[in-house]
Structure 1
Amino acid sequence: MASLKEVRSRIISVTSTQQITKAMKMVAAAKLRRAQDNIIRMRPYAQRLSSILTNLSRLTTDSTPNLYAERREINRVLVVVITSDRGLAGAFNSNVIKAVNNLVNERYSRQAAAGNVEYLAIGRRGHDFFAKRNAKLAGNYTHIFSQLSFDTVRVAAEYAMDAFRAGDYDQVDIVYNEFKNVATQIIRTEQFLPIQEQEPAVANASIGTNTDYIFEPSKERIVEELIPKSLKIQFYKAVLESNASEHGARMTAMDKATDNAGELLKQLKLTYNRSRQAAITTEILEIVGGAEALAAGS
């Protein structure tokens, strides 16, 4: 049995840890409210813009080509990995990394064997994971979550878009956590480029009817400006989803850690009281034994 001093030291340590996890839970809850509001406001706009993007992609012709929808033989692949900068969020980061590895092994094994799979890591955890394994990293975007805004995310999106147009990559996929609620995050693997062309019935279902656009100022200018903007919005939405999911995952993890610390404290206090009671009983027995020995000697 551990000594009273050791048990007392553990109680102090666990109490301190519990205070830290409780504070981290409160911080995550405050950040989650803002992140959740941001993604809830963004979703309708991004979904509507995605519907327009799909229709515009189908309406492009030889005179107004859509370079972001060009389909080529997949030889070089870019995988955008969206993780967090910090840990203590349960399986938030490990689930994304696992999904990325499964994606590469199942879909791009040939390209990976040839060394033609690169990773664009948004978030320090993903960047560090692939850097330690000497994977090919496209740029460094680990600063994005420290100053999260459309402008900072736009830089990463433009890199992927420009590289695809230049032929550096034939496919760009995004892997991230989609926010459902505080306790649930859903791993999403989406094709970012080339733009996926849905069937007309599926594309128009999101708008409710057949779409007939009147282009102003011109079809060419609309395709040239709206499609890149829509792609950047979709990229930004994925980052916002991951941001909200991170705070939800950390809040849940810290809540469980606080509860576990409380359970451990109960056990330690019970052990401490038993040890203290045993020590007191031993002292009483020693006193009684000494008194009996003195009485017998006299």
Structure 2
Amino acid sequence: MKKNKKLSEDLNTLENMLNVVQTYQEIAAMRMRRVKQSVLSSREFMDDLNNTFRRVTYAYELYLKNVKKSKESGEIIHKNGKDVLVFLSSNMGLYGDIVRKTFKLFLSDVEKISSNTDLVIVGKVGRDMFLNANTNKNFTYFDLSDSGTDPANLSKILNLVLDYSHITVYHGIFKSVLSQEATKSVVTGEAAELEREYEAMGEMTYLFEPSVERIADYFANEILSSVFEQETFEANLSKFSSRMVSLYSASDNIQDSLKKVDFSLKKYNHKVLNSKQIAILSGINLWSKA
């Protein structure tokens, strides 16, 4: 009887777990569908916008060099001259292995940073991972909702990171429903890369209206904020997709366990029934001999 009770309890527990997992599955799928279309439709546009920002940054640096040569006064975009690495993780678990893979990529670069580089970690899971890694490096922590929209906390992050000259964001990126990859995105214009490209192409001429200072200043604030926000949406899409895949796997495992427990319970009940029938038949034989 104890074994029968234990198997029945296990069966009931697994059924409850399956209901919970399937509920989370539906929520993750709903969130993924809601975010997916907007992220994918704006991805190419934001990539082109970031490339344009790189060109503006390069042109602005050329302008500053010419200003220094002619000893004229030029308006400088005020940045702190430092680098920042931003790790976008999550506040909760059940996101598969995408957060872990992104953290691994982030940590590999953290080990190579100089004193001129600061660290920003977004999300409780990432914070705990970093503390457990025992790097002995300082970092700034921010909360950011996993729901996909959190303008208040996003504004706090932007107020900090927009002061940096070079911003690198570590996040997951959606490839397909079954595939999400860890990546890092440079959301500031990397003029050095363009300089090498343009040296091979020859001299480039730019025309800015109303002025290169005004255009560069606009890109360094408004456009950069949009590019950074896009990376947070990319991270959320990859997390929702990874969670859905992880929950599908968990659901399959629970259903397999349910079948095994159900089979064991039926087998035990059948064994008990056989024992009772044997006992009855043995009793009948005894009475017939008497």
Q: Same fold (TM over 0.5)?
A: yes
Alignment partners' CA distance in 1, 2:288 and 2:137: 82
Equivalent position amino acid for 2:283 in 1? G
Q: Structure 1, residues 161-203: CA drift from partner, whole Å, max 9, x if none?
A: 32x35xxxxx543211011122111111234457353336968
* 8 A contact 2:144–2:150 mirrored in 1: no
Q: Report deviation, 1:269.
A: 1.3
Alignment partners' CA distance in 1, 2:254 and 2:107: 34
* 8 A contact 1:32–1:248 mirrored in 2: yes
Match of 2:176 in 1: 181
Which of 196, 199, 204 is residue 194 of structure 2 equivalent to? 199
Equivalent position amino acid for 2:183 in 1? R
Gaps of 5+ in 2: 65-73
Alignment partners' CA distance in 2, 1:202 and 1:264: 58
Match of 1:161 in 2: 162
Q: How many residues are aligned here?
A: 273
1:255 aligns with 2:248: yes
1:225 aligns with 2:231: no
* 8 A contact 1:150–1:236 mirrored in 2: no
Equivalent position amino acid for 1:102 in 2? S
- Pair 1:99–1:40, CA change in 2 (3 A): same
Query: What percentage of aligned pairs have identical amino acids?
Result: 18
Equivalent position amino acid for 2:87 in 1? V
Match of 1:190 in 2: 185
Question: Taking structure 2 as the reference length, what is the TM-score of the superposition?
Answer: 0.82
Alignment partners' CA distance in 1, 2:85 and 2:195: 28
Q: Report deviation, 1:4.
A: 1.6
Alignment partners' CA distance in 2, 1:160 and 1:34: 28
Match of 2:144 in 1: 143
Alignment partners' CA distance in 2, 1:258 and 1:147: 24
1:98 aligns with 2:110: no
- Pair 1:189–1:182, CA change in 2 (3 A): same
Match of 1:206 in 2: none
Other structure's SS at 1:87 match? coil
Equivalent position amino acid for 1:159 in 2? L
- Pair 1:146–1:161, CA change in 2 (3 A): same
Gaps of 5+ in 1: 71-75, 166-170, 204-209
Equivalent position amino acid for 2:15 in 1? T
Q: Structure 1, residues 244-292: CA drift from partner, whole Å, max 9, x if none?
A: 1111111111111112211111111111111111111111222222333
Equivalent position amino acid for 1:121 in 2? I
Q: Structure 1, residues 43-94: CA drift from partner, whole Å, max 9, x if none?
A: 1331221121111112112235555696xxxxx7632110122111211221
- Pair 1:269–1:278, CA change in 2 (3 A): same
- Pair 1:97–1:200, CA change in 2 (3 A): closer
- Pair 1:118–1:221, CA change in 2 (3 A): closer
Match of 1:276 in 2: 269
Alignment partners' CA distance in 2, 1:198 and 1:135: 29
- Pair 1:214–1:196, CA change in 2 (3 A): closer
1:289 aligns with 2:282: yes
Match of 1:236 in 2: 229
Other structure's SS at 2:142 match? coil
Other structure's SS at 2:193 match? coil
Question: Taking structure 1 as the reference length, what is the TM-score of the superposition?
Answer: 0.80
* 8 A contact 1:144–1:153 mirrored in 2: no
* 8 A contact 1:35–1:240 mirrored in 2: yes
RMSD: 3.0
* 8 A contact 1:175–1:190 mirrored in 2: yes
* 8 A contact 1:68–1:195 mirrored in 2: no
Q: Structure 1, residues 73-124: CA drift from partner, whole Å, max 9, x if none?
A: xxx763211012211121122112222222223x33xx4xx7x764311222
